[in-house]
Each structure stands twice: as C-alpha cells, then as structure tokens.
Amino acid sequence: MCSLLHESLLVAVSFWTTVLKKLLTNTVEMFILLQRTDAENCLNLIYELKYKDFFTISYNSPILIVNLMKESINHL
C-alpha cells in the first residue's frame, strides 16, 4: 500500500513538473517574441522617420531602440 502511494506521488510530481516546465518555456518564448516584435516596430518607425543610417540597431537592446526613437522624434 505504501509503495503504491509512493509511486502515485512520484507520477503526480513528475506530471506537474513537466506541465510547469512547459508553461515556463512558453512564457519565456512569448516574452522574447514580444520583445522582438517591439524592436521591429521601433526599427520600422525609425526607418519611416528617415533615420535609417543614424544608428545601427540590435534586437538585443530594446531600450536603446526606444531611446533612439524618442531622440529621432525630438529632432522632427
């Protein structure tokens, strides 16, 4: 009886660990996707404002992109 309970508990823990790991992975992937989308939107806006050659922008620095966008708008 104790062995069956122990085995059931291990299966339940394994199941919920897998579920939580999948949810966390999906959340991180969604966050990265949203950051990339924001970066692309800012980059497109800067291109539309004709600041294409003003600075080389990296997707790894969304803060730089937002600051550059604000600076570009201030120059209009």
Instruction: Write down the pLDDT at residue 38.
Output: 65
List the chain residues with pLDDT less than 50.
51-60, 76
Residue 64 buriedness (CB in 10 A; 0-12 / 13-18 / 19+) = middle
DSSP classification of residue 1: -
Count the domains in the chain: 1
DSSP states along 16-68? HHHHHHHHHHHHHHHHHHHHHHHHHHHHHHHHHTT-TTT----TT-HHHHHHH
Full domain range(s) for residue 44: 2-74
pTM: 0.37
